[in-house]
Amino acid sequence: MTTQTLPFHRDPEILGGALVFVGTRVPVQTLLEYLEAGDPLDEFLTDFPSVRRTQAVAALEVAKDLLLQRVPVA
């Protein structure tokens, strides 16, 4: 996934530069907090209809890829 196709971005003019989903003012951190609390993805998407399912899933795929790359081999 290239920078141009990432589902999120930072803009100093939007929420002080927080990482948000493209085309929204919804922080990616909010998605992670929903999931951490045990809320399903569908609930997040219902509460934040400006975020498309494809964006949320793509963000989670980026997080998964980063996590898997950083975990050292035992």
Taking only the tens place, the pLDDT of each residue in 8-56 is 999 999 999 999 999 999 999 999 999 999 999 999 999 999 999 999 9
List, in sequence order, the alpha helices (H) in the chain.
28-36, 41-47, 53-70
Residue 9: its H or E element:
strand 8-10
Number of domains into which the chain is organized = 1
Full domain range(s) for residue 54: 3-70
CATH of the domain at 9: 1.10.10.10
- pLDDT at position 57, please? 97
Cα–Cα distance measured from residue 57 to residue 15, given in angstroms and rounded to the nearest whole number: 22
